[in-house]
């Protein structure tokens, strides 16, 4: 009787094993109807499943949903950028600027449309290419990023230029990081600091001697940061031909020794720079770390305060170093205006070393922040030179943006560590989690289930 029961149980288990298959990747047992190929197809989002009416209907629903979500995000981002830009122009203002009037403008509608179109077109292209292609590689994301990048044509030319320079800088940063990670390029110590110093050298030179190469808003922001400089004082002290050397006191900059004055000026500038950095550091926390803020509020607030102190000290020291270096080199040269061109260039390189005060993760972000401004300076210089005709490429900024977004989206999906934490957070919020993140989450979940 016992042998009969044991044989019956063995027969049932054998039949169960026959109806199940082992998934080689993790050892799970799946019903026979669900094969490993089916699982791979489901993980890849149905790649190679073909296009039918159900697929197209889902594609349209997802497109509209992402467009509405991205458009709402665009409105919020537009308001935030206007707020930060107003603070950059005058970090020492007593009241917050009024941005609500700008939110209902046509420009805001264009920006919101772009932020709605890009993620919608990108995911639509990814789904379509997965359905029609058989290869599993990064070309799907590169092509989708490029096609979606054409949506920038909805913006005006000035904004297209600004956004394009921003994305080109990020694409170059991702390319260098990827080459280093794959061993094709050696590690360059303090690369971000040297890039930052070179860019700030160009920017300080243009601020002192060639302000026409800077955008008006950025030039006014730099003059505001300097506190005691003004366009009239810069014109008199640095640009207009003079017959004798002018001291800082004669130019109306300050009284007494330059070293003591610059140290005191650095201390006085810290509250204004802290007000400037508050929205810069607070915005990513509210956008990307809301869950952590609810779970560990004191940890997040302490980290926020620490980062603000470091960034405020960095900007205060950088501005003071630039002005002090100019004062010292002017006294050593003791020449009448205009200012020798090497003085502001050296001052910019020296003050850029203040980046060492910043956290390592912030150094790359700050170097990529000044890089687009340097691109813009070079673009304006070339536009005013005899090579201006070579810059007349139809839809040039749209094409450049599409190519740079192809690189960025490929990096986001295949090499996410090559992008800065800020850009990764923006893309995750704006476009969605990368496939790399999704697969890592699935693998972690499987391992957790298996251990449990």
- Residue range 313-334, pLDDT digits in tens: 999 999 999 999 999 999 999 8
Q: Would the pLDDT of 280 be above 70?
A: yes
Cα 320 to Cα 22, 254, 313, 327, distances in angstroms: 67, 13, 11, 11
User: Cα separation of 268 and 223, whole Å?
Assistant: 16
pLDDT bucket at 388, cuts 50 / 70 / 90: confident
pLDDT band at residue 426, thresholds of 50, 70 and 90? confident
So what's the pLDDT on residue 373? 94
pTM above 0.85, yes or no: no
pLDDT category at 447 given cuts 50, 70, 90 is very low
Alpha-helix residue ranges (DSSP H) falling in 182-296: 191-209, 216-226, 231-234, 258-288, 290-295
Amino acid 43: pLDDT: 45
What's the mean pLDDT in 17-33? 43
pLDDT(195) > 90? yes
Flag the least confident range among 82-91, 96-105, 116-125, 431-440: 431-440
Whether the predicted pLDDT of 87 surpasses 80: no
pLDDT of residue 361: 81
CB-based contact 145:174 (threshold 8 Å): no
- Give the phi and the psi of residue 21 in degrees, each rounded to 5: -125, 150
Find the Cα–Cα–Cα–Cα dihedral 306, 308, 309, 311, rounded to 10°. Answer: 120
Higher pLDDT, residue 433 or 313 = 313
Give every CB contact of residue 372 below 8 A, 6+ residues apart in sequence.
Answer: 162, 165, 166, 168, 169
| Helix (H) or strand (E) segment spanning residue 257 | none
Reported confidence tier of residue 434, pLDDT bands at 50, 70, 90: low
Q: Which residue has the higher pLDDT, 377 or 40?
A: 377
Query: Residue 179 and residue 172: Cα distance in Å, rounded?
Result: 11
Distance separating alpha carbons of residues 68 and 82, to the nearest angstrom: 21
Q: Phi/psi of residue 119, each to 5°?
A: -65, -30
pLDDT at 18 over 80: no
- For residue 100, what pLDDT band results from cuts at 50, 70 and 90? confident
How much is the average pLDDT of 382-404? 86
Question: Could you tell me the pLDDT band of residue 177, with boundaries at 50, 70 and 90?
Answer: confident
Residue 418: both structure tokens together: 């090559």
pLDDT in tens, 339-369: 999 999 999 999 999 999 998 888 988 999 9
Tokens representing 297? 């509020």
* Tokens matching residue 310: 């470091």
| Mean pLDDT of the 405-422 span | 88
Please tell me the predicted confidence (pLDDT) of residue 72.
Answer: 87
Distance CA 208, CA 231 (A): 9
DSSP β-bridge partners for residue 380? none
Q: Kindly give the residue spans of alpha helices, DSSP state H, lying in 20-91.
A: 36-43, 53-89
Residue (of 122, 118, 120) closest to 66 by Cα position: 120
Rounded-to-integer distance, Cα 387 and Cα 47, Å: 47
Residue 15 corresponds to which tokens in the numbers above?
């039949």
Three-state DSSP class for 22? strand
Quote the tokens at residue 34.
């669900």
* Residue 92: band (very low, low, confident or very high) from pLDDT cuts 50, 70, 90: low
> In the structure encoding, which two tokens stand for residue 424, read together?
């990764």
Check residues 438 and 124 and name the one with the higher pLDDT.
124
188 three-class SS: coil
CA distance 371 to 195: 8
Q: Which helix (H) or strand (E) holds 21?
A: strand 20-22
Among 384, 339, 375, residue whose Cα is nearest residue 205: 339
Task: Sort residue 46 into left (φ over 0), alpha (ψ -120 to 50) or beta.
Answer: left
CA–CA dist 59, 211 (Å, integer):
49
Degrees to nearest 5, angle at CA 238 with 234 and 243: 125
The C-alpha atoms of residue 232 and residue 332 are separated, in whole angstroms, by 24
Mean pLDDT, range 248-275, rounded to an integer: 86
Query: What average pLDDT does range 202-216 have in this prediction?
Result: 94
Residue 104 DSSP symbol: T
Across the range 53-59, mean pLDDT stands at 89
pLDDT of residue 41: 45
Q: What is the pLDDT of residue 48?
A: 46
Radius of gyration of the chain (CA): 28
- Rounded-to-integer distance, Cα 140 and Cα 130, Å: 7
* Statement: residue 397 has pLDDT above 80: yes
How far apart are alpha carbons 36 and 127 in whole angstroms?
A: 21
Residue 313: the pLDDT is: 94
Scanning the structure block, which residue is given the tokens 């020291």? 317
* Percent share of the chain, pLDDT over 70: 82
Would the pLDDT of 394 be above 80? yes
Residues 6+ apart with CB under 8 A from 412: 141, 419, 424, 427, 431, 434
């Amino acid at each position: 009787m016992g042998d009969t029961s044991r044989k019956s149980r063995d027969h049932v288990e054998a039949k169960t094993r026959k109806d199940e298959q082992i998934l080689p990747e993790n050892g799970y047992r799946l019903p026979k109807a669900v094969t490993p190929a089916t699982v791979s197809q489901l993980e890849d989002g149905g790649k190679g499943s073909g296009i039918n009416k159900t697929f197209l209907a889902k594609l349209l629903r997802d497109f509209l949903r992402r467009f509405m979500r991205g458009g709402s995000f665009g409105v919020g981002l537009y308001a935030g950028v206007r707020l930060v830009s107003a603070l950059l122009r005058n970090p020492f203002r007593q009241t917050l600027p009024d941005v609500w009037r700008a939110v209902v403008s046509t420009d805001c509608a264009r920006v919101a449309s772009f932020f709605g179109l890009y993620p919608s077109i990108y995911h639509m292209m990814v789904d379509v290419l997965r359905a029609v292609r058989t290869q599993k590689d990064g070309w799907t994301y590169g092509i989708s990023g490029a096609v979606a990048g054409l949506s920038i044509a909805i913006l005006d030319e000035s904004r297209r230029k600004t956004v394009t320079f921003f994305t080109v800088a990020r694409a170059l940063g991702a390319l260098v990081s990827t080459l280093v990670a794959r061993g094709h390029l050696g590690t360059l110590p303090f690369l971000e600091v040297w890039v930052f110093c070179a860019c700030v050298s160009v920017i300080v030179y243009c601020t002192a001697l060639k302000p026409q190469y800077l955008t008006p808003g950025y030039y006014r922001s730099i003059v505001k940061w300097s506190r005691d400089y003004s366009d009239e004082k810069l014109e008199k002290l640095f640009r207009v031909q003079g017959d004798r050397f002018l001291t800082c006191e004669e130019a109306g900059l300050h009284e007494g020794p330059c070293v003591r004055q610059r140290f005191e000026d650095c201390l006085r500038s810290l509250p204004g720079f802290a007000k400037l950095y508050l929205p810069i550091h607070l915005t990513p926390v509210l956008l990307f770390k809301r869950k952590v803020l609810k779970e560990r509020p004191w940890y997040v607030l302490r980290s926020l305060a620490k980062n603000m102190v470091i960034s405020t000290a960095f900007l205060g020291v950088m501005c003071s170093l630039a002005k002090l270096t100019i004062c010292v080199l002017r006294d050593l040269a003791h020449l009448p205006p205009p200012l020798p061109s090497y003085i502001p260039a050296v001052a910019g390189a020296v003050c850029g070393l203040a980046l060492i005060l910043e956290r390592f993760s912030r150094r790359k972000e700050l170097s990529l922040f000044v890089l687009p401004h340097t691109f813009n300076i070079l673009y304006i210089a070339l536009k005013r030179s005899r090579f201006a005709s070579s810059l007349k490429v139809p839809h040039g900024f749209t094409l450049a943006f599409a190519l740079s977004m192809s690189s960025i989206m490929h990096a986001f999906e295949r090499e996410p560590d090559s992008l800065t934490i800020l850009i990764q957070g923006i893309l995750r919020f704006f476009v969605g989690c990368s496939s790399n993140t999704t697969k890592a989450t699935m693998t972690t979940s499987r391992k957790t289930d298996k251990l449990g």
